[in-house]
Amino acid sequence: MTIQTSVCVVGGGPAGLTLALELARRSVPVVVLEASGHFNRSFRGESVSPDSVWLLDRLGLLDRLDGGYVQMHRMEISDSGHTVFRAEFSDFRYPHPFPVELPQPTLLAALAEAGAGLSDFRLLQGATATGLLYDGEGAVAGVRARTSEGETEVRAMLTVAADGRFSKVREMAGIEYRKVPLERDVIWLKLPFPYGEWDDRTYRVRIRGDQHGLFIPTRPDSVRVGFNIPKGGLREMRQRGLGALYERLDLLAPELSGAVRDEVRSWSDTSMLDIFTTVVPRWAVPGLTLIGDAAHTLTPILGQGVNHAIIDAVTLAPLVEKAMGEGGSTGALLSASEVFQREREASVARSRALQLRQERLFTLDGAVGAAWRRSLYRVVSSSPWLVRKVLAGAYFQLQEPGERVAKMQVGM
């Protein structure tokens, strides 16, 4: 089977589906290939930053998601049992000042539902890209895929790799990149939320020495827990048994000691995330563009993955629309992709730099290092100006300061 379209998007995550929806709304025919047959993804990014909430409102999607997310009102960092940093998001005067916790299946289902009503939107689930197609001049001309109906060719003027941090399309295209491993990995698990001891509108970071944990409320009544282990240290921790995991939670969050013993009975109740960043010097080659994690993998700190995925999509869509309107030549689409990279690189670099600074703070050990970290957090926390400056770099790169509003106009 052969499908002819203008744009083929490989990957039905936040970047791919948002881009496809925006293209279809602009009357650019698009086909999305998603390997999974469903959206039930575990331990994927659920933190959506205020800028992305603002974008989802402008795109007319926030009402579709009503009731499916929870607003976060504050961030709190504790070190050695003492609160050293606290930020109230209500202090930020932007149209949408609050990040939200939104399960990724809920977001993806809303995007797919919005796209399903458009004639130029087509989503093929259970479709795995197996190779790239090329034209006579060596430009990418689409994708070969394996589907439930057999081998399929999707021929397109532009192919978009939105297939994540381990992008197969990026590998197949031979696009160079540099993977920068960090000093730690993260073990994720979910536990019942400890109502009565915690409020469910606070991001919590707990630190003791060189150990730290993230505690993130998630819908409907759980807390996502992520704690660091040394890079490649999962095998050693498993050899020590689940008791080592329980002891880590006892140290960082004794409020969860009972829950972790009740809920985590085997290592299959956890998930390990390999922490690294990816730097891709060139995001596009003729006929192919990378977006989202395929173009710039970030770390879990401050939930920037979903944020940059959505911003990538709404930045690229109008550029592709314009290039298609000018004939959709390989050269025009490559120029549009290069403009896209120039517009997005600085923002990604700022987020990466902020994340790496936080990573270095988290890994400080010893009495001197820990004391310096606590002092730094306290200094920043004591100054509203410094709090705004630090968090604005991660959360408020798009919105203009102003009073909060109930609704935003749809459309970019």
Domain range 2-180+276-395, CATH class:
alpha beta
* pLDDT tens sequence across 126-145: 999 999 999 999 999 999 99
Do 2-180+276-395 and 183-273 agree at the fold level?
A: no
- pTM here is 0.89
pLDDT at 44: 59
* pLDDT tens sequence across 256-312: 999 999 999 999 999 888 888 889 999 999 999 999 999 998 877 766 788 899 999
Instruction: Decide if pLDDT at 411 tops 50.
Output: no
**Three-state SS letters, the chain:** CEEEEEEEEECCCHHHHHHHHHHHHCCCCEEEEECCCCCCCCCCCCEECHHHHHHHHHCCCCCCCCCCCEECCEEEEEECCEEEEEEEHHHCCCCCCCCEECCHHHHHHHHHHHHHCCCCEEEEECCEEEEEEECCCCCEEEEEEEECCEEEEEEEEEEEECCCCCCHHHHHHCCCCEEEECCEEEEEEEEECCECCECCCEEEEEEECCEEEEEEEECCCEEEEEEEEECCCHHHHHHHCHHHHHHHHHHHCHHHHHHHHHHCCCHHHCEEECCEEEECCCCEECCEEECHHHCCCCCCHHHHHHHHHHHHHHHHHHHHHHHHHCCCCHHHHHHHHHHHHHHHHHHHHHHHHHHHHHHHHHCCCHHHHHHHHHHHHHHHHCCHHHHHHHHHHHHCCCCCCCCCCCCCCCCC
Minimum mean pLDDT range among 200-204, 217-221, 341-345, 401-405: 401-405
Minimum mean pLDDT range among 70-79, 364-373, 379-388: 364-373
Percent of the chain whose predicted confidence (pLDDT) is above 70: 96
- The average confidence (pLDDT) of the chain is 90
Instruction: Decide if pLDDT at 392 tops 90.
Output: no
pLDDT at 211: 86
pLDDT at 45: 62
Domain spans of the chain, in order of start? 2-180+276-395, 183-273
Fold of 183-273: D-Amino Acid Oxidase; Chain A, domain 2 (3.30.9)
pLDDT at 386: 93
Of 31 and 401, the structure prediction assigns the larger pLDDT to: 31
pLDDT at 209: 84
Percent of the chain whose predicted confidence (pLDDT) is above 90: 65
